[in-house]
Amino acid sequence: MRNDPSKPWFAPKRYGYGAGLPIAWQGWALIAGYFLIFIGAINFSEQDKPGSTFMSVVGMAILGVATVAFVLICAAKTKGGWRWRWGGKP
């Protein structure tokens, strides 16, 4: 089975701006991967010693980079792209 690079991973939202639920396994895998990175970054942040903030800053930086990457991938892989929708035909 060949992956089609133009095939969308997410359905568009009917109302508002952004992506809806995944419509391909790649979308679900992206959400699962982001969730694992999120949990890992939070656990990494909690490893800080009292009086130190280095691990917290690094953990939040990891989370910030992962969030930006997640949003950009979702925007690129949403059917029809991200635009404001008023409930009509997606």
Number of domains in the chain: 1
The candidate with the shortest Cα–Cα distance to 71, out of 19, 36, 16, 7, is: 19
- Averaged over 71-80, what is the pLDDT? 93
Residue 6 resides in a domain: no
Instruction: Choose the weakest-confidence range: 35-39, 41-45, 58-62, 66-70.
Output: 41-45
- The pLDDT tens digits for 18-31 are 888 999 999 999 99
pLDDT at 2 over 80: no
Distance in angstroms (rounded) separating the CA atoms of residues 71 and 2: 25
Domain extent for 47: 21-79
Distances (CA, A) of 60 to 28, 43, 54, 80: 23, 11, 10, 32
Is residue 63 included in any domain, yes or no?
yes
